[in-house]
Amino acid sequence: MNLANIFKSIFYNKFFLLIIFFLAIGSIFYALIIANTYGSMDFPYSPTLLFVDKINPYEYFLYSNTQNRFIGVQYPVYAHATFILFSPFSYLEWDLAKLTWSIINLFLAFLSSYFFLKYAGLNKTVSFFLICIFCISTPFRNCIGNGQLSFLVLLCHTAFFLRNDLLKSFFMGVSFIKYSFTPIIAFTLFLKGGLKQLLISVTFCFIGWLFFSVYLNQKIFDTLFQPILVGLNGFDAGLARGDLYTLFNKIFNLLGIKDSFIIIIIIFCVTFIFSKYISKLTDPLQIVGLMLIISLFTFGHLIYDYVVLFPALIYSIKHLNFLRAKISVLIVLYFWFGIRIIERIKMYITESNVIIPTTYDVVINFSLLIILYSLNYNIKSNSLIK
C-alpha cells in the first residue's frame, strides 16, 4: 500500500477520526488553560496599556531603567498599528483580557483554516481530518498558549484569494504588524500588481504609524524605525528554528561582525529573488503557501509561527498522488510534531527542562524548509530532481 492510500484509509476511518477529534478537543482546552494561567506572554497587552497611557512602548523598552510595566516578556516587537488594533483590550483587566484574546485567537485559527480549506475544495471528511491535525499540532497549542498573532497573520493571507485587488492588498498588509512576514508579501504584491498594490498594502501600518506618532506627540521619523530596534533587541534569536537570519548571525558572530542591518539587507535581496519566481505562478493557494514558507526560512521564527504551514499542507494533500506532495506532507508533520518529540527525548536524556536549538538543528530545519519550498513550487511531479 503506497503512502497516498495510507492517508486516504486514515481519512475515511471513522474510529480513527473519532480519536483525533477528541485529541483535538484536548489540545484546544490545554492551550486555553496555558493561555489563561502562566501563558499569553506574547499577547501585546502591556505595550498597548503603555500606548493608551501616552507612553511610547518602544522607548520604554529601549531606554527605561525599569521594565516593570511589562507582564513577563510582553515586549513591543510589533508594528505601531498593533497597539491601536489592540487598544480595546486596554479597557479590560489582565485576566479578562487574556481570556478574551485566547478565545478570539482560537476563532481566528478556525476561520483561517475554514477559508483555506474552502478555497482548496477538499471534501468535508478530509477537511475535518486536517483541522483536527492542525489543532493537535505543537505550533497550534503554542500560538494559543503564548497569545501570539500568527493566526491573525494566517487569516490575512486568505485575502490573497479575493478578486478585488484593492481589498486583497489592504488585508494582506494588515499582517505587516508582524513584520517578519512583510518582505515576501510586499515584493510579491509589487511584482504581480505593481507599485499601486504595494502602496495599498502598507496603508494600514502607515496610518497606524502616523496615528501612533501624533497621539504620543512625537516626530514621525523618530518613531519610524523603533519597532525594528526593539525587534533586534527583544527577539531571542537563540530560540529560532531554521532561518537565514539566525544562520548569518552565527556566521557574523564567528567573524566578529556586529551589524544586523547588513544581514537584513542580504535577506531582503534573497527574498526578492524568491518573490520573482513565485510571482510568475497562477495558483493563489500555491503562492500563499510558498510565501509563508519563505517567511519562515528568511527571518527568525519560533515554533508557534509554524502554524502558517497549514496552506502548504492543504496544497500537498490536494495533490497527494504525486511523490513530491507526499514528502511535503511528511516535512510539515515533522515541524508540527517531530521537533517537539525530538526535544522531549533530548530533555529526558539530558535531564533538562528546556532545550535550546543548536546550530545543527537550525541548519537541518533550514534545509528542510528549502526542500519544502522546492517541493511545493513544482509539486505535480514524481521526480525529486526536476
- CA 139 and chain centroid, separation: 9
In whole angstroms, give the CA distance from residue 144 to residue 135: 10
Q: How far apart are CA 42 and CA 155, in angstroms?
A: 18
> Does the residue 328 lie in any domain?
yes
| The amino acid at 25 | I
Domain for residue 140, yes or no?
yes
Percent of the chain with pLDDT over 90: 75
39 Ramachandran zone, left/alpha/beta (phi>0; psi -120 to 50): beta
Residue 301 covered by a domain: yes
Q: Is position 70 within any domain? A: yes
Q: Is residue 384 part of a domain?
A: no
Owning domain of residue 66: 3-377
Average confidence (pLDDT) over 45-61: 96
Band of pLDDT at residue 355, cut at 50, 70 and 90: confident
In this prediction, residue 91 carries a pLDDT of 95
Is-contact 300 264, C-beta < 8 A? no
Confidence of residue 102 (pLDDT cuts 50, 70, 90): very high
- pTM over 0.95? The answer is no
How many residues are present in the chain? 386
In the chain, how many domains are there?
1
Q: What is the 3-state secondary structure (H, E, C) of 261-312?
A: HHHHHHHHHHHHHHHHHHCCCCCHHHHHHHHHHHHHHHCCCCHHHHHHHHHH
| Distance between start and end Cα atoms, the chain | 25
385 CB burial (10 A radius; 0-12, 13-18, 19+): exposed
Return the pLDDT at 380.
Answer: 77
Residue 245, pLDDT above cutoff 60 = yes
Question: Is residue 386 situated within a structural domain?
Answer: no
The per-residue pLDDT for 1 is: 47
Residue 62 lies in a domain: yes
Which residues, at least 6 apart from 275, have a Cβ–Cβ distance to it below 8 Å?
184, 187, 188, 191, 294
Residue 131 lies in a domain: yes
Distance, CA of 121 to CA of 69 (rounded, Å): 47
